[in-house]
């Protein structure tokens, strides 16, 4: 669906500015955020998956980032119906998704994922495989509270290779880029987090730069196989699954120490900064959110996300009976900060889940026509 870029609207001016990432031109600043669907039986995306993503491309978003796609490691997933980025059948399913999105004029990244210690035994096809983690420490977000298997050096090497293989698969399928999931308390973030990383080797310990080593080696391996110009995004967060108030860093200086290894390792092109509410300040003494600080430190394009267009954060929405409502004031704040170039992209999750044509309606100021996100949207994923 085409969006009228000639409308004399502040909304259009803020959201419809094109941007170039390496050799990739994106037509606007709105990204469909990655949202797990658990609808790919045996890890295989279906024709319904392809149409789900195509509808968002038709709605005019500048870029789609897929739900987390797991890499080819035996402990990478925590649900039997998450999509794989390996295996002939799964790759054929993703090729169809890419074809449909491109046919609708869209761009699409694959998000590469390993859940780490969140996984528990009992997940098919091999129900005996436990969670793999940097240390044998129970993850707060693990449902059964099992102690995970502590990864040996060889396990780490195999996992790094699996990330690289998945990235190369995505590139060969025609994805326009890849995003590495380094947030929310999953495997890469478990290496970052001192609570889940008590290793005594050079992949962990009390020193942040050692806890960064796994991520940097993943990025280096990916960059080596996809090439220097292939767009590479990295998703990071302070909060963790099951520990929503956790913080990796407390100051801008600590954040700088976290970010520079990622930059130097593989030249990350985009930082996707996940927060529960985009408008919240990250550190005292400044109104900048996490994305704003990451951009200030790195100079790289950044994505802000968290409650865009809604009056509640996702935790309140999912964990209670609270229903989100459209919030125009929220949109106006977003646009003001985007115009100030505090961040470069806006990732929209729940609002786009409820309404594939959310962006077009925002730009045309048809606010009363926007479909409202409800809990039922999580089951339907239409």
Measured between alpha carbons, how far is 316 from 49 in angstroms, rounded to an integer? Answer: 27
Give how far Cα 184 sits from Cα of 155, 240, 315, Å.
22, 4, 13
Banded pLDDT at 317 (limits 50, 70, 90)? low
Has residue 156 been placed in a domain?
yes
Q: In this structure, what token pair is assigned to residue 326?
A: 């459209």
Q: In this structure, what token pair is assigned to residue 247?
A: 């913080």
Identify how many contiguous H helices and E strands the chain contains and give both numbers. Answer: 14, 12
Range of the domain at 29: 10-380
Has residue 61 been placed in a domain?
yes
Banded pLDDT at 1 (limits 50, 70, 90)? very low
Q: What pLDDT was estimated at residue 8?
A: 43
Has residue 265 been placed in a domain?
yes
Which one is predicted more confidently, 289 or 320?
A: 289
User: Has residue 315 got a pLDDT over 70?
Assistant: no
Mean pLDDT value across residues 125-153: 94
User: Has residue 271 got a pLDDT over 70?
Assistant: yes
The model's pLDDT over 82-136, given as tens digits with 9 standing for 90+, comes to 999 999 999 999 999 999 999 999 999 999 999 999 999 999 989 999 999 999 9
Q: What pLDDT was estimated at residue 49?
A: 97
- Whether the pTM exceeds 0.75: the reply is yes
Q: In this structure, what token pair is assigned to residue 145?
A: 């509270």
Q: In this structure, what token pair is assigned to residue 313?
A: 């954060």
Has residue 4 been placed in a domain?
no
Banded pLDDT at 192 (limits 50, 70, 90)? very high
Banded pLDDT at 7 (limits 50, 70, 90)? very low
Helix, strand, or coil (residue 188) = helix
Has residue 65 been placed in a domain?
yes
Q: How far is CA 214 from the centre of its chain?
A: 18
If one counts the domains in the chain, the total is: 1
Has residue 3 been placed in a domain?
no
The answer to whether the Cα torsion of 287, 293, 299, 304 is positive or negative is: negative
Task: Report the 10 Å Cβ neighbour count for 370.
Answer: 17
Helix, strand, or coil (residue 97) = helix
Q: What pLDDT was estimated at residue 323?
A: 73
- Give the chain's length: 382
Has residue 51 been placed in a domain?
yes
Q: What pLDDT was estimated at residue 270?
A: 97
User: Has residue 76 got a pLDDT over 50?
Assistant: yes
Mean pLDDT value across residues 29-49: 96
Q: What pLDDT was estimated at residue 13?
A: 83
Q: What pLDDT was estimated at residue 116?
A: 97
User: Has residue 378 got a pLDDT over 80?
Assistant: no
Share of the chain above pLDDT 70, in %: 92
Mean pLDDT value across the chain: 92
Has residue 342 been placed in a domain?
yes
Q: What pLDDT was estimated at residue 9?
A: 54
- String of DSSP letters for 248-265: S-SSHHHHHHHHHHHHHH
Q: Is there a contact between 72 and 84 (Cβ–Cβ < 8 Å)? A: yes
Q: In this structure, what token pair is assigned to residue 295?
A: 């951009």
User: Has residue 6 got a pLDDT over 70?
Assistant: no
CATH value at residue 202: 3.20.20.70
Q: Is there a contact between 300 and 271 (Cβ–Cβ < 8 Å)? A: yes
Which one is predicted more confidently, 346 or 324?
A: 346
Q: Is there a contact between 174 and 231 (Cβ–Cβ < 8 Å)? A: no
Q: What pLDDT was estimated at residue 152?
A: 98
Measured between alpha carbons, how far is 100 from 107 in angstroms, rounded to an integer? Answer: 10
The model's pLDDT over 195-252, given as tens digits with 9 standing for 90+, comes to 999 999 999 988 898 999 999 999 999 999 999 999 999 999 999 998 989 999 999 9
Share of the chain above pLDDT 90, in %: 82
Q: What pLDDT was estimated at residue 14?
A: 85
Q: In this structure, what token pair is assigned to residue 323?
A: 């229903």
Q: Is there a contact between 244 and 184 (Cβ–Cβ < 8 Å)? A: no
């Amino acid at each position: 669906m085409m969006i009228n870029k000639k409308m004399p609207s502040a909304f259009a001016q803020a959201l419809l500015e094109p941007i170039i990432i390496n050799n990739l031109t994106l037509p606007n600043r709105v990204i469909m955020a990655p949202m797990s669907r658990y609808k790919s039986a045996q890890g295989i995306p279906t024709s319904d998956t392809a149409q789900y993503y195509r509808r968002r491309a038709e709605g005019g978003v500048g870029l789609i980032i897929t739900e987390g796609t797991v890499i080819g490691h035996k402990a990478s997933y925590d649900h039997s119906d998450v999509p794989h980025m390996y295996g002939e059948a799964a790759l054929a399913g993703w090729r169809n998704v890419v074809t449909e999105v491109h046919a609708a004029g869209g761009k699409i990244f694959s998000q590469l994922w390993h859940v780490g210690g969140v996984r528990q035994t009992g997940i098919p096809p091999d129900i005996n495989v436990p969670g793999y983690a940097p240390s044998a420490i129970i993850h707060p977000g693990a449902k059964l509270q099992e102690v995970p298997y502590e990864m040996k050096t060889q396990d780490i090497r195999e996992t790094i290779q699996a990330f690289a293989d998945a990235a190369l698969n995505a590139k060969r399928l025609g994805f326009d880029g890849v995003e590495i999931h380094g947030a929310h308390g999953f495997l890469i973030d478990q290496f970052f987090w001192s609570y889940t990383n008590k290793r005594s080797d050079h992949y962990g310990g009390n020193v942040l730069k050692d806890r960064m080593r796994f991520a940097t080696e993943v990025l280096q391996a990916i960059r080596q196989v996809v090439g220097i110009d292939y767009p590479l995004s990295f998703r990071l967060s302070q909060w963790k699954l099951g520990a929503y108030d956790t913080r990796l860093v407390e100051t801008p200086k600590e954040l700088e120490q976290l970010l520079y290894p990622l930059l130097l390792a593989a030249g990350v092109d985009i930082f996707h900064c996940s927060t529960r509410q985009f408008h919240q300040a990250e550190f005292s003494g400044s109104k900048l959110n996490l994305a704003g600080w990451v951009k200030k430190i790195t100079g790289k394009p950044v994505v802000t996300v968290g409650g865009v267009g809604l009056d509640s954060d996702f935790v309140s929405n999912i964990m209670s009976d609270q229903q989100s409502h459209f919030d125009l004031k929220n949109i106006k704040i977003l646009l003001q900060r985007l115009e100030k170039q505090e961040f470069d992209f806006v990732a929209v999750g729940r609002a786009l889940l409820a309404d594939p044509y959310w962006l077009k309606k925002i730009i045309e100021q048809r606010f009363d026509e926007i479909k409202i996100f409800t809990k039922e949207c999580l089951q339907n994923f239409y």
